[in-house]
Amino acid sequence: MRFISTRGLAEPLGFSDAVATGLAPDGGLFLPETLPDLSAQWAQWAGLGYAELCYEFIKLFATDISPDTLREIVRKSYQHFDHAQTAPLVALDSSTYVLELFHGPTLAFKDFAMQLLGNLYEHQCAQRGESINVLGATSGDTGAAAIHALLGKPGTAIFILYPDGRVSPLQERQMTCTGADNVFALAIDGSFDDAQAALKTIFGDTAFRLKNRLSAVNSINLARVLAQCVYYLYAWLQLPSEARERAEFVVPTGNFGNVLAGWLLRRMGVPIPGFKVATNQNDILYRLFTTGEYRVAEVQPSLAPSMDIQVASNFERFLYYQLGSDAAKVREVMAACAKDGVYRFEDFDRSAFSASRCTDAEIPEIIARVRRRYGYLVDPHTACAFKELSPEKVSVVLATASPTKFPETIGEAIGAEPKHPRLEVLGKLPIVKHRLPASVKAITDFVEAHAV
């Protein structure tokens, strides 16, 4: 299988090269040249364990990796999750389910993709005899998951940009207290969008990228999105058949990558009825799916910091399909968004989506309400998904992080702070971070000085 850029000006690549490259050289995002049709296949996968289902799905795309090697890569990727089902589906009542995606090494949904991506990188380094330098930006959980996927792996170094003072204290400690020599946590001035903009500029410098063997770990990397498709399929296959027909996945999201993964699965022939995009007060996606207008606003720090985003990079992949796979039109729209910060879609298919928005004032109230009604504790991001559940549908809420990662907000909501032994240890370890301005030069100078 070959992978093409959404902007149409880059050479198609095989799976491993697309993963290693991350951002396409023309500034676009990689997508499969043709999506597989799963309409006659998905039913055969019911009953598979998580790792086996992941293998069956990913092998449709990773056609340049031998089946035995890929199976071992996938097996390793999910061996450190602390629940036997990896992604358990919990029924709160007959029409409300929670898909728990926080049983991985860093207690957040990003582990599902990052553990796989880290092992793919390790395989590539060993196979090609080359080192790799991974660069990413995070609003919270991505950075920790990426770092823990590459801890101590030979031939790798990882550089994670994050907005200084705008991630939770525990999220920062997960990135800065590893003690690993190949990890560099870069605390930058500004917002996540500033970090992401710098990252895209750096990856657009082909000479620098090639010289330093850079690869992207953000959800601009196609392997991230494909890995996330799997838990939608795993959860949907566990629903009773009558529930499948009314299922709506309710997805806390800021960068659109998480909900895009589910929508791509639907495009491959899995008949998932729909998705609800649940945003915090940084509501660019809510406004997009309720008005058809994409308008960038200023980022407001919130109690759900991983969604403090106003430039949803994965929207470009969705846009590619919305525009009939017209790469020239994608370039036109993305240029307009970059220039003016706004684009109004005249013919925008929102039929698979609904949307909701949650403010900081509402988050503690929702946490308390969910606890009272179901006896179930949710983190601030997952709380946003509980803002509006449709009574006519079967809601499958994606629980994107453990509530133990946000003890202050949970404490405010229910009067007690949850704890996790793994996180308690972090408080005793020294923080090692590197403060930098959000400038391309400062970041590239640092990367060049520490690249392997």
What global pTM score does this model have?
A: 0.92
pLDDT tens, 185-216? 999 999 988 998 999 899 889 899 999 999 88
pLDDT tens figures, 220-263:
899 999 999 999 999 999 999 999 999 999 999 988 889 999 99
Q: Are 124 and 132 a contacting pair, CB within 8 Å? A: yes
Residue 166 reports pLDDT greater than 80: yes
User: Could you tell me the domains of the chain?
Assistant: 89-105+223-419 (3.40.50.1100)
Q: pLDDT tens-digit profile of 324-374?
A: 999 999 999 999 988 998 988 888 888 899 999 999 999 999 999 999 999
pLDDT at res. 217: 83
> What is the distance of C-alpha 230 from the center of its chain?
13
Tokens 């009558």 belong to residue: 242
Predicted confidence at residue 429, as pLDDT, reads 92
What pLDDT, on a 0 to 100 scale, did the predictor assign at position 368? Answer: 98
CB distance 132 to 108 below 8 Å: no
> What is d(CA 112, CA 55) in angstroms, rounded to the nearest whole number?
13
Q: Name the token pair of 341.
A: 């910060």
Residues carrying an active site annotation: 110
Chain mean position to CA 375: 28
- Residue 295, Cβ density class (10 Å: 0-12 exposed, 13-18 middle, ≥19 buried): middle
% of the chain at pLDDT higher than 90:
82
What's the Cα-to-Cα distance from 267 to each of 31, 229, 263, 288, rounded to whole Å? 13, 11, 6, 20
Count of C-beta atoms within a 10 Å radius of residue 111: 28
Q: What is the pLDDT of residue 142?
A: 86
